[in-house]
Structures are given as C-alpha cells and as structure tokens.
Amino acid sequence: MINRGVAHKTPGKALALVRKELYSYSIAPFFYGITVFFLLFVSIWLFYVQRFFTLNTATLRPFFAAFPLGFVLVIPAITMKGWAEERKLGSIELLLTMPFSEWDLVLGKFIASFTVLGLIIALTIPVPLSLLPLGDFDGGVILGEYAGALLLGASATSLGLLLSCLFRNQAGAFLGSAVVLLIMMFINQTTLTLNLPPLVSEGINFFSLSFHFETFSKGIIDTRDLAFFVLTTVLFLFLNTRVLIFRKWR
C-alpha cells in the first residue's frame, strides 16, 4: 500500500515542478528569442540555403535536415538554466532537501524543457502547411519527420539537462552542451570523409543522433532508431538522477 501511495504522489510532485519551470520560461525573454531564432533558421535554411523552389520536388527533407543543426544551439539555450541556474542561486540544495525524489526533480525539469522544445517545433508547422498546395506532398512522410524531430529533441534535451547538472553557471552549461551536442549530432560525418573500416564506421554511426534521425527524415519509422532515442533519453535521465544523488550525499 505504501508503494502505491508513493507511485500516485510522484507524478503530482513532478507536475508541480513542471508548472514552476514553465512559468519561469514564460517570463524569460531568452525563450522568445530562441523561438524566433529557430523559426528563422529553419526557414532561411529551406528557402535560401537549400533553394527549395528550384528543387522542383515535393519533399520537405531539406527543411527537416536543418533541425539537428538548429537543435545544437536551441536545446542548450533551453536546458542551460535547468540545473546550472539552481546551482548558481544555491536553490539546488533547497530542492534536494524537499520531499521530492531525484526522479521527481529530473522528470519535472525534463518535461518542462521538452514541452518548450515541442512548442517551438509546433510553431514550424505553418511552413509545411503553406507549401502543401504547391505540390503532391506525402502527409505520412511529414508526420514521420515530425515524430523523428520530437524523438531527437527528447534525447538531446535529456543530454542537455545532464550536462547542465555538471556545470556551475549557465554560460558553461550552454557552451558545454553545444559542443557535446555538436559532436553527438554530426560525428557520423567523419565516416563520410575518412576511410575507416566498416566496423568502426558502424560504431561511430551508432552514437550519432543525426544518423538515427535520417530514417525519420525520409518518413520511415525504424524501430531500431525509435528504440535508440527512447533508450538514450532514459539513460541520460537516469545518469542525471545519479549526479543529483552524488551531490546530495557529497
């Protein structure tokens, strides 16, 4: 009976933290800044860098190809305040002494950050909607591409929060997360430029976030890539709880 009670209370505690975090995002000017930046970035990438109207092809793959690169800057900006700000203000000690489990704290931070990212992704929907009348686009492919963007975002967000927990200030958390995400996103590019043995190339590709996103960008939902994003998200969240426990008992 005790376990059941805890199980019922835990989601409520996490949601209370989610509401607190979402409110802090809503009053932060940087949130609106990164939203405008991402929307402009993916639009410029599609229409000016990829020259969409000269492709003469009813596909949005060039549009979604910009998401991994955009995430390298946007996600660190979202997650940098997650734990680094708490450490700077000294409020992390207060959180750790409150009746919240480490999972309550981590899930609260993650759900809030991922909700913000999901909102930013949702705001890009008018772009494909405005292009649908211009060609015979496959709606199923576009849905698969958005599903991949959300899964990629979930994994990258959990990694960003883990890295935020390791830094003492937001600037360090942003730079550290951006560098690590850049490596994790595009490490697979080394296999295209270097003549590596097939086994080594496969190992490098396995750890690349953008490599697992490529199948979704084609509108294909591969269960292996789906499992990769889910498992890495859970792994990074679990490691985040371990870091909190270490800080709690240090």
Distance CA 113, CA 101 (A): 19
Q: How confident is the model at residue 89 (pLDDT cuts 50, 70, 90)?
A: low
- For residue 122, the model assigns a pLDDT of 96
Mean pLDDT of the chain: 85
- For residue 2, the model assigns a pLDDT of 37
Distance CA 108, CA 102 (A): 10
Q: How confident is the model at residue 59 (pLDDT cuts 50, 70, 90)?
A: confident
- For residue 43, the model assigns a pLDDT of 92
Residue 51, burial from CB neighbour count under 10 angstroms (0-12, 13-18, 19+):
exposed
Residue 174, burial from CB neighbour count under 10 angstroms (0-12, 13-18, 19+):
buried
Q: In terms of Cα–Cα distance, which of 77, 86, 95 is closest to 32?
A: 77
The answer to whether residue 45 scores a pLDDT higher than 80 is yes
**Per-residue pLDDT tens over the stretch 184-237:** 998 888 887 777 788 888 888 888 898 899 888 877 888 999 999 999 999 999
Query: For residues 75 and 177, is the Cβ–Cβ distance under 8 A?
Result: yes
Distance CA 55, CA 131 (A): 13
Q: Over range 16-20, report the average pLDDT.
A: 83
Q: What is the dihedral of CA 234, 240, 244, 249, to 10 degrees?
A: 80
**Per-residue pLDDT tens over the stretch 154-190:** 999 999 999 988 887 888 889 999 999 999 998 888 8
